[in-house]
Amino acid sequence: MAARSVFRSLWTSFAGLKLESRGTNLSSLRTISIEGQILEVPVGAQPPNPTAKCPIYRWNLQNKYNYTDVLLLSQFIRSDGGMLPRRVTGLCPEEHRKIAICVQMAHRAGLLPDHKPKLPEDHVPKRPKPKLNRYLTRWSIDSVKPIYKTGLKWCKKRMPVGHPILKNNVRYGVKPLYIKH
Amino acid sequence: MSSFSRSAQQWATFARSWFLIDARMQPPGKIATMCSIRLQGKHKPIYHALSDCGDHVVVINSKHIAFSGNKWEQKVYSSHTGYPGGFKQVTAAQLHHKDPKAIVRLAVYGMLPRNLHRRTMMQRLHIFPEDELPYDIQANLTEELPQPREIPKKLSEYTREEIDAFPRLWTPPEDYKMK
């Protein structure tokens, strides 16, 4: 298989700028030109199942990844932390959802510190938020209400941990997966 | 140990050891079970409830514990002052902000047996919010216990070689503007 070239940047264009200087009547034209190069990326390892459509199925990683596998998850996210669209990555809908949920959990656990959204320079946070360590958070932090009345044992309001979409993951121990704590 | 004399062996078996547990990025419940087992003395084959065989446990970095799920917002710690209108309910996040030692302390308290030995066992539990220990406690420590939860690596902690060794699962189409 020939080496697939990766097109790093798309910008090969002139951006003409007109500068009006106050004193003189001259308008100096400043052109900015950005050149993109098609880089040759060397061929890596071959997938064990090349005929499958979804990349996860091609590499036989169906039920084997978790929120901790950041090296895998970082291949499907943008630099500001958002997921890439399914039509570009080629993931099947279930795996795309699973990866999105794992990426969400990894963000909330603080495992992707460099993929934060870019804030404008003069952004001042209103009050310093306490940095609490967490992991396997299913719901967004601001959307959850405290459980003031947990109820009796037969009708207890449980606190969910992890996500049920990952219930088919491979488990190498005897203990079952506890979703409701 | 066969090389010990009888009196030395007796002294070594019934001595009270000091354990150290680092609670950084660990769930407080798992830390609390490890503490309660060692405070009661249940890790010793010579255990008996009346024989006061519990050990000391020192927990450090209790300010940096990690709750799974959304428990920081959902878990509620309730108490009543005894006076009417004195029912107070605080979330785990608020309680941790007020007192970083409270969550671990309450977890261990709830896991110890409900008898009069519980208070003495709690006196043998020493919790510190950060790394610093007073010198006399540091001098007493005998063993450090392994952490119950494996801390996952952040993306910034992986080396360049490890990131490059991981294969690219998919190649982007030629005309797509990446990121």
Query: What is the ipTM, given to two decimal places?
Result: 0.90
Cβ-Cβ contacts under 8 Å, A7 against chain B: 172, 174-176
> Does residue B141 sit within a domain?
yes
Chain B residue closest in CA terms to A179: B69
Answer yes or no: is pLDDT of B17 > 70. yes
Measuring CA to CA, which residue among B144, B66, B78 is closest to residue B110?
A: B78
Cβ-Cβ contacts under 8 Å, A47 against chain B: 167, 169
Answer yes or no: is pLDDT of B162 > 90. yes
pLDDT value, residue A14: 39
Mutate to test the interface with B, among A66, A73, A134 (most CBs of B within 10 A): A134
Answer yes or no: is pLDDT of A7 > 50. no
Q: Give the nearest partner residue to B169 out of A6, A59, A160, using CB atoms.
A: A59
Expressed as residue numbers, the domain containing A70 is 47-118+131-180
Q: Tally the domains of chain B.
A: 1
Find out whether B7 and B46 touch, Cβ atoms under 8 Å.
Answer: no
Q: How confident is the model at residue A1 (pLDDT cuts 50, 70, 90)?
A: very low
Residues 52-81 of chain A whose Cβ lies under 8 A from any Cβ of chain B: 55-56, 58-59, 67-68, 70-72, 74-75, 78-79
C-alpha torsion B136→B139→B143→B149, nearest 10: 50
> Does residue A27 sit within a domain?
no
Mark out chain B residues that contact chain A at CB-CB < 8 A: 25, 64-76, 89, 91, 93, 96-97, 152-156, 158, 162-163, 166-179
The fraction of chain B above a pLDDT of 90, given in percent, is 92
pLDDT value, residue A27: 56
> Does residue B169 sit within a domain?
no
Instruction: Specify the pairing of strand B56-60 against strand B125-127.
Output: parallel
Q: Give the nearest partner residue to B73 out of A68, A70, A144, using CB atoms.
A: A144
Between residues B44 and A3, the one the model is more confident about: B44
State how far residue A139 is from chain B, nearest Cα, in angstroms: 7
Q: Determine whether the interchain pair A130/B93 forms a contact, defined as Cβ–Cβ distance below 8 Å.
A: yes
State how far residue A29 is from chain B, nearest Cα, in angstroms: 28
Distance between CA atoms of A121 and B118, rounded to whole angstroms? 54
- Contacts A–B by Cβ distance under 8 A: 129
Distances from the Cα of A25 to the Cαs of A11, A19, A21, A28, in angstroms?
Answer: 32, 11, 7, 10
Find out whether B21 and B13 touch, Cβ atoms under 8 Å.
Answer: no
Expressed as residue numbers, the domain containing B104 is 9-163
Distance between CA atoms of B34 and B145, rounded to whole angstroms? 9
> Does residue B170 sit within a domain?
no
CATH number, position A60: 4.10.640.10
Q: Determine whether the interchain pair A138/B70 forms a contact, defined as Cβ–Cβ distance below 8 Å.
A: yes
Q: How confident is the model at residue A28 (pLDDT cuts 50, 70, 90)?
A: low
Instruction: Specify the pairing of strand A133-135 against strand B76-80.
Output: unpaired
Distance between CA atoms of A136 and A156, rounded to whole angstroms? 21
CATH number, position B114: 3.90.1180.10
Chain A residue closest in CA terms to B170: A55
Mutate to test the interface with A, among B170, B177, B179 (most CBs of A within 10 A): B170
State how far residue B111 is from chain A, nearest Cα, in angstroms: 16
For residue range A29-63, list pLDDT tens digits in order.
788 888 877 777 777 778 888 899 999 999 999 99
Q: Which two tokens stand for residue B23?
A: 């609670």
State how far residue B148 is from chain A, nearest Cα, in angstroms: 14
Find out whether B77 and B106 touch, Cβ atoms under 8 Å.
Answer: yes
> Does residue B43 sit within a domain?
yes
First-to-last C-alpha distance (Å) of chain B: 64
The alpha helices in B53-159, defined as continuous H runs, are: 71-74, 92-98, 102-111, 117-123, 135-140
pLDDT value, residue A107: 96
Measuring CA to CA, which residue among B34, B54, B35, B26 is closest to residue B120?
A: B54
For residue range A116-159, list pLDDT tens digits in order.
988 887 777 777 777 899 999 999 999 999 999 999 999 999 99
Distances from the Cα of A101 to the Cαs of A105, A139, A140, A178, B67, in angstroms?
Answer: 6, 10, 11, 17, 18
Distance between CA atoms of A55 and A68, rounded to whole angstroms? 19
Strand, coil or helix: what is B66? strand
Answer yes or no: is pLDDT of A26 > 70. no
Answer yes or no: is pLDDT of B39 > 80. yes
Measuring CA to CA, which residue among A112, A88, A87 is closest to residue B156?
A: A112
Cβ-Cβ contacts under 8 Å, A13 against chain B: none
Answer yes or no: is pLDDT of A15 > 50. no
Measuring CA to CA, which residue among A41, A36, A144, A130 is closest to residue B170?
A: A41
Distance from CA of residue A130 to its chain's centroid?
A: 23
Answer yes or no: is pLDDT of A179 > 60. yes
> Does residue A143 sit within a domain?
yes
State how far residue B9 is from chain A, nearest Cα, in angstroms: 38
> Does residue A7 sit within a domain?
no
Chain A residue closest in CA terms to B150: A68
For residue range A68-108, list pLDDT tens digits in order.
999 999 999 999 999 999 999 999 999 999 999 999 999 99
C-alpha torsion A48→A51→A56→A62, nearest 10: -80
Between residues A23 and A159, the one the model is more confident about: A159
Distances from the Cα of B10 to the Cαs of B3, B22, B38, B74, in angstroms?
Answer: 13, 30, 19, 49
Q: Tally the domains of chain A.
A: 1
> Does residue A37 sit within a domain?
no
